[in-house]
């Protein structure tokens, strides 16, 4: 009895475990359920993805060599030359959203706007002069969210430090002073802590203002702005970035024991939150319209330069990818959704609200993509996802052989997609040849002059191929 009853039980248990371990409840293949299911599945996907070689080639040909050559660059030039920069809360940002809404509508794609409340900080007039040991004007850019100075400015002696540790050690020297941070550039991710927290750390030890060496590995005396965060319960003191050159100058003077005095004048203030929108463009999937591959870049910028590189380029290729797919008469199984975020520079405000509103459908988000590290020559795709998803993506990037970008790297990146990735949705971003990105980032130097049409063609092709193929595969990426 035990034997006769046992065999079917063991068989059905085996089938159950086999189906579970493949994580596939979507396409029951009875013949495979009792065989090496996981391995069959992988080889199926390899063949399935390889079947997209022709369509990938068509997309690449259109973007890089064909009728769409240089289109994303031309669109970016027209947009940034017409609108200029577009900081959160500004009239220019409103104009930028209207411009894109109209341009994408004229392109024949479905576009709609989703309202968001965004921060409204204005810099006003600002200046800084060195008074001792000699008269010299200092180029500055106030940091986003900084308070202003009294109208007559703040005049004070300077304490120059090279690190937070040095500031702590010399805390008793900081009282009543303007603290100048001359921290060396290590990497953006690491060094940006000085821009973000320099003012609060200086205020904690009694400073009256702080000036931060710009976060860049290269400078021609250009200040680079960005967001900064006051800490709760710490005095809000005015803060601005200065150039690498002026930070080093004051450090050398301090090393010689010279007394440095600076007058800082800033009108910066924060107004009530403003109305804005995330701009959403879609090609609806034919089979699973509720399932989504999301592509994105942000439309806002800082209030200097043209915001061409950060992040006009990322926004334009995310639109261009949908144009390319539409031009070829393609419609994937799942929905392709491009979101042009608002108020990224203020801490991903538009994207965070988008996540809060749409996370109810998180199980339908297949892949989230963001381009916000420059649209220079792409070298590969950065990807966050589990091993099974990575196996699929390794096959997908092989389709990019015609543009030599077949590398799949760890860690998809981006402020605006990070809430999704943290919640387990696979995420992707570019690895670009980005040695120039932080040279121009958040400065007057971020203009069309740093963009190259051929590089943008490659980015558009890569973005379109990855988004289209993932959106059209039989199954969503495993997670």
Task: Report the catalytic residues.
Answer: 344
| Least distance from ligand NAG to the Cβ atom of residue 312, Å | 17
Q: Rounded distance, CA 448 to CA 440, Å?
A: 11
Q: Rounded distance, CA 22 to CA 341, Å?
A: 36
Q: In what order do the strands lie in the sheet with 178-181?
A: 136-138, 126-132, 261-266, 154-161, 178-181, 209-213, 239-242, 140-142
Asked if 372 interacts with Zn ion (CB under 5 A), we say yes
Q: Which is nearer to Zn ion, 188 or 230 (CB)?
A: 188
Q: Which is nearer to ligand NAG, 141 or 295 (CB)?
A: 295
Sorted by sequence, the CB contacts under 8 Å of residue 357 that are 6+ apart come out as 114
ω into 311 cis (within 30 of 0): yes
Q: Rounded distance, CA 422 to CA 278, Å?
A: 21
Q: Rounded distance, CA 178 to CA 238, Å?
A: 10
Q: Report residue 161: phi and psi, to 5°.
A: -130, 160
Binds ligand NAG by CB under 6 A, chosen from 5, 7, 360, 387: 360
ω into 133 cis (within 30 of 0): yes
What distance separates the 2 farthest-apart alpha carbons in the chain? 101
- 459 neighbors 378 (Cβ within 8 angstroms): yes
Q: Which is nearer to ligand NAG, 50 or 186 (CB)?
A: 50
Binds ligand NAG by CB under 6 A, chosen from 36, 231, 287, 422: 36
Which of ligand NAG, Zn ion, none does residue 453 bind (CB under 5 to 8 Å by kind)? ligand NAG
Q: Which is nearer to ligand NAG, 48 or 162 (CB)?
A: 48
# binding residues, ligand NAG (CB under 6 A): 13
Helix (H) or strand (E) holding 112: strand 110-122
Binds ligand NAG by CB under 6 A, chosen from 18, 23, 69, 415: 69
Q: Which is nearer to ligand NAG, 12 or 36 (CB)?
A: 36
Asked if 206 interacts with ligand NAG (CB under 6 A), we say no
| Least distance from ligand NAG to the Cβ atom of residue 17, Å | 11
Which of these segments, 219-227, 276-284, 356-364, 367-375, binds ligand NAG (CB under 6 A)?
A: 356-364
Q: Which is nearer to ligand NAG, 21 or 82 (CB)?
A: 21
| Least distance from ligand NAG to the Cβ atom of residue 462, Å | 11
Asked if 455 interacts with Zn ion (CB under 5 A), we say no
# binding residues, Zn ion (CB under 5 A): 3
Q: Rounded distance, CA 413 to CA 149, Å?
A: 36
| Least distance from Zn ion to the Cβ atom of residue 348, Å | 10
Residues that bind Zn ion (CB under 5 A): 310-311, 372
Residues that bind ligand NAG (CB under 6 A): 36, 39, 69-70, 290, 357-358, 360-361, 403-404, 453-454
């Amino acid at each position: 009895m035990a034997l006769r009853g046992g065999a079917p039980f063991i068989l059905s248990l085996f089938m159950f475990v086999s189906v579970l371990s493949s994580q596939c409840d979507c396409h029951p293949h009875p013949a495979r359920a009792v065989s090496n299911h996981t391995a069959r599945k992988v080889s199926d996907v390899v063949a399935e993805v390889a079947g997209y070689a022709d369509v990938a080639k068509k997309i690449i040909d259109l973007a890089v060599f064909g009728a769409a050559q240089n289109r994303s660059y031309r669109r970016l030039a027209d947009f940034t030359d017409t609108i200029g920069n577009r900081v959160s809360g500004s009239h220019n940002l409103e104009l930028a959203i209207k411009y894109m809404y109209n341009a994408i509508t004229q392109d024949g794609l479905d576009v709609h706007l989703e309202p968001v409340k965004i921060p409204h900080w204005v810099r006003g007039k600002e200046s800084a002069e060195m008074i001792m040991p000699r008269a010299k004007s200092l180029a500055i850019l106030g940091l986003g969210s900084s308070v202003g100075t009294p109208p007559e400015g703040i005049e004070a002696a300077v304490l120059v430090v090279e690190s937070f540790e040095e500031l702590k050690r010399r805390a008793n020297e900081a009282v009543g002073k303007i603290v100048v941070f001359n921290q060396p550039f290590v990497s953006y991710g690491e060094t940006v802590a000085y821009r973000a927290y320099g003012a609060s750390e200086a205020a904690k030890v009694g400073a009256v203002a702080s000036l931060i060496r710009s976060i860049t590995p290269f400078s021609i005396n250009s200040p680079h702005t960005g967001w900064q965060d006051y800490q709760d319960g710490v005095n809000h003191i005015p803060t601005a970035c200065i150039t690498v050159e002026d930070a080093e100058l004051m450090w050398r003077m301090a090393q010689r024991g010279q007394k440095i005095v600076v007058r800082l004048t800033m009108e910066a203030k924060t107004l009530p939150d403003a109305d804005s929108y995330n701009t959403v463009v879609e090609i609806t999937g034919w089979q699973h319209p509720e399932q989504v591959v999301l592509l994105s870049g942000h439309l806002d910028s800082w209030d200097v330069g043209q915001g061409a590189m950060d992040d006009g380029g990322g926004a334009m290729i995310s639109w261009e990818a949908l144009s390319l797919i539409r031009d070829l008469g393609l419609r994937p199984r799942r929905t392709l959704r491009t979101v042009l975020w608002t108020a990224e520079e203020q801490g991903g405000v538009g994207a965070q609200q988008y996540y809060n509103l749409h996370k109810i459908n998180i199980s339908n988000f297949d892949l989230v993509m963001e381009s916000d590290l420059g649209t220079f020559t792409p070298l590969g795709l950065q990807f966050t996802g589990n091993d099974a998803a990575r196996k699929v993506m390794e096959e997908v990037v092989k389709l990019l052989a015609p543009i030599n970008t077949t590398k799949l790297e760890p860690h998809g990146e981006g402020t605006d997609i990070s809430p999704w990735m943290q919640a387990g949705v696979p995420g992707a971003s570019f690895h670009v040849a980005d040695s120039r990105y932080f040279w121009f980032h958040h400065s007057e130097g971020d203009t069309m002059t740093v963009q190259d049409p051929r590089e943008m063609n490659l980015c558009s092709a890569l973005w379109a191929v990855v988004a289209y193929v993932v959106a059209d595969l039989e199954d969503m990426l495993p997670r």
